[in-house]
Amino acid sequence: MTLKVYTSLLLLFLVVYSAWTRTVRQVYDELDPEHWSHYTSECPRECFCPPSFPNALYCDNKGLKEIPPIPARIWYLYLQNNLIETVSEKPFANTTHLRWINLNKNKITNSGIEIGALSKLKRLLYLFLEDNLLEEVPAPLPVGLEQLRLARNKISRIPEGVFNNLANLTMLDLHQNSLLDSALQSDTFQGLSNLMQLNIAKNSLKKMPLSIPANTLQLFLDNNSIEVIPENYFSAIPKVTFLRLNYNKLSDNGIPPNGFNVSSILDLQLSHNQLTKIPPINAHLEHLHLDHNKIKSVNGTQICPVSIALAEDYGYHGNLPRLRYLRLDGNEIQPPIPLDIMVCFRLLQAVII
């Protein structure tokens, strides 16, 4: 029996490997020496144009101070880890298919970005500008963008209307900048109708941001100075699934009675705050991080999202609490784990105290 299984696996591997090598051969067969020389001739001398990946241009880690002319065929452009200070229209004059630009770890400032240089890249989907010297979100931006990564800059200002036409944007990363509450107005994120992930961690916020797009699934607010969750805050973002508020200043008084009792939230992270008790949670919650707070004891009967009587009923499955992971280390709780915790949360796979 074992031999048959191994034989079947071997045959499957050989079939997959054969298909893969055939595909690779086809790629190389199509790129005859004549094509190779063509790609080499129009490749900027500072960069690398791999014959096996003709739509990509690798200019990373070259000590470049400016962007070289980009061939028309390029879809993927890698310019990270250079000394580039400016982004102008000229290098992109012949580029009509560009989908991806990585400009991380350069020295780009807002004044160094020529107006229209980015917005004219009509097919651009991914723009990476992390680890630069930006002081505000650059504008205007390509209307087709799907991901905009601006982490680890010096951004303290978001120009009015900068996101208004970015209906395709699904991910916006602004973490580790210099944003204050005043930078996030009620209309700041207007237009981001399809945003799914918003990362504003490691800024200087004291309040929950206003008017988060309604379709947001992942909201990251770690390492700020947030003290209060407004009443019914999450009713405006009914799809939020992953919520991170680690390393803030949340206390029991700053959380409404049912502030986190939200059916959409599956992963809730409240580590490194000032809580002395576990806030009420929803039966749908699967992961709860409460480590490094000031919690002294845990009462399973009080925190159970259904009555203990229902939890004890083995035949009850309609609203069985789904919690699988509970982290409570770094508090003042002494083991053992209370029995009523296990009675309530029958699906628990890990409890860390």
Q: What is the CATH number of the domain that holds 136?
A: 3.80.10.10
pLDDT reading at 86 higher than 80? yes
Q: pLDDT tens digit string along 260-312?
A: 999 999 999 999 999 999 999 999 999 999 999 999 999 888 899 988 666 66
> Which of 190, 210, 226 is where one domain is finished?
226
pLDDT reading at 28 higher than 90? no
pLDDT reading at 27 higher than 50? no
Residues 218 and 270 in one domain: no
Residues 91 and 153 in one domain: yes
pLDDT reading at 18 higher than 50? no
Residues 259 and 307 in one domain: yes
For residues 85 and 314, which has the higher predicted lDDT (pLDDT)? Answer: 85
Residue 79 lies in a domain: yes
Residues 104 and 221 in one domain: yes
Q: Across residues 6-17, what is the average pLDDT?
A: 41
Residues 260 and 221 in one domain: no
The torsion angles phi and psi of 91, rounded to 5 degrees, stand at: -60, -20
How far, in Å, CA of 293 to CA of 274, rounded?
Answer: 5
β-strand partners of 294: none
Alpha carbon 113 to chain centroid, angstroms: 25
Residue 236 lies in a domain: no
Count of structural domains, the chain: 2
pLDDT reading at 31 higher than 50? no
How far, in Å, CA of 211 to CA of 209, rounded?
Answer: 7
Residues 77 and 215 in one domain: yes
Q: Across residues 93-113, what is the average pLDDT?
A: 97
pLDDT grade for 170, boundaries at 50, 70 and 90: very high
How far, in Å, CA of 56 to CA of 78, rounded?
Answer: 8
The pLDDT value given to residue 157: 97
Residues 67 and 207 in one domain: yes
Average pLDDT in the chain: 88
282 Cβ contact partners less than 8 Å away, ≥ 6 residues apart: 260, 261, 262, 263, 265, 305
Residue 315 lies in a domain: yes
Residue 94 lies in a domain: yes
Please report, rounded to a whole number, the percentage of residues in the chain having pLDDT higher than 70: 85
For residue 335, the enclosing domain spans 252-352
Residue 192 lies in a domain: yes
Residue 301 lies in a domain: yes
Residues 148 and 286 in one domain: no
Query: What's the predicted TM-score (pTM) here?
Result: 0.86
Residues 124 and 159 in one domain: yes
The pLDDT value given to residue 5: 36
pLDDT reading at 149 higher than 80? yes
pLDDT reading at 134 higher than 50? yes
Residues 75 and 204 in one domain: yes
Residues 214 and 158 in one domain: yes
For residues 1 and 77, which has the higher predicted lDDT (pLDDT)? Answer: 77
